[in-house]
Amino acid sequence: MSVVRHASPDAFLASAQPVIDRDEAMASSYVAGARAPSANPRDADTIYLATYANGDAFGAAIRRGGGPLWVGPSDARAAAAFAEDLFAASNGSTATLSGIAGAQVACDAFARAWAALTGRTCALRFRMRNHKLTRVAPLYLTSGIPRIATMADIDWLINAHLAFIKEARVPDEPARVRALVPGRVAQGRVWIRDDAEPAAFAGWTDAPPAAARIAPVYTLPHLRGRGHATVLVASLAQALLDGGRRALFLTTDLANPTSNAVYARIGFRPVSDVFQYDFVDAGNRGASH
């Protein structure tokens, strides 16, 4: 087993470069995940940063708090080695990992190894698609130009973000959301679209060397169907491109044709697919894999 754990995000990202270079959309998730503790110190003590290198097989994995393990486009051998490493660190506990996310090959290999070690299988949570944009398509903007969120929006944003993770079934913790939102607002990384009241929000993170990832995007249910997400994301994307970003990335749930159509109109084009599975007891398989 050739797994190396890293305490430094810089050391991790340097060692992960062979994997990061495989897919620039997934690379942005590695960078954002590794840098997360600097933006939210609550994550600093609970982050797993690991790389694998053995011959022509490479891997890189990130886990924050109690969330799923992100393995991106790691090789199968690397993913299996991460399973062994995490199981050893858990002292044999079978319920220490909520799920796995990344390219299908890596997820498959990790899931097989994890099942052999713990007896737990996995159920598909969602299949997602990474999209890339380099130019915003012309759109007719309606009233209510999006704006950068302010500290006065904090309470609304926290409630909206909590509604988002519940509706989208994102495995995040409410306490982490409440801690994260004020810092992102202070950094100018959340935009809001108004419609007599705040109607939608979109966040973004850096994706070095010269890109950014837009996430999350959420519109209040009673204000949907009015183009808020389209105008919000288009305006934010144009501002980021005007600010020097050469490319933008965004991830959609393939089970949501509405959002996929919206982002296609803006100019996002598909580049790669991402799978996320939840680990469940063998007797509670559901849509197992």
Q: Are 238 and 133 in contact (CB under 8 A)?
A: no
Sheet bearing 121-133, strands edge to edge: 3-5, 47-54, 57-64, 69-72, 99-102, 269-280, 121-133, 247-253, 211-219, 198-207, 190-194, 147-148
Give tens-digit pLDDT for 89-135. 887 666 679 899 999 999 999 999 999 999 999 999 989 999 999 99
For the chain, counts of helices (H) and of strands (E): 9, 12
Task: Using pLDDT thresholds of 50, 70 and 90, give the confidence band for residue 142.
Answer: low
Q: Name beta bridge partners: 70.
A: 62, 101
**Residues 55, 248: Cα–Cα separation, whole Å:** 33
Q: Name beta bridge partners: 239.
A: none
pLDDT > 90 in the chain, percent = 70
Q: Name beta bridge partners: 61.
A: 50
Task: Using pLDDT thresholds of 50, 70 and 90, give the confidence band for residue 47.
Answer: confident
**Residues 65, 58: Cα–Cα separation, whole Å:** 24
Orientation angle between helical segments 174-186 and 154-167, nearest 10 degrees: 130
CA-based radius of gyration for the chain: 19
Domain boundaries, the chain: 3-128+275-280, 136-266
Question: Residue 216, preceding bond cis, omega within 30 degrees?
Answer: yes
- Predicted confidence at residue 94, as pLDDT, reads 62
- Tokens linked to 85: 């490493």
pTM here is 0.83
- Predicted confidence at residue 144, as pLDDT, reads 62
* 101-110, 223-232, 277-286: the lowest-pLDDT one: 277-286
Work out the burial of residue 134: count CB atoms within 10 Å of its CB; fewer than 13 is exposed, 13-18 middle, 19 or more buried: middle
The domain at 136-266 falls in which architecture? Answer: 3-Layer(aba) Sandwich (3.40)
Work out the burial of residue 171: count CB atoms within 10 Å of its CB; fewer than 13 is exposed, 13-18 middle, 19 or more buried: middle
Residue bearing the bigger pLDDT, 142 or 171: 171
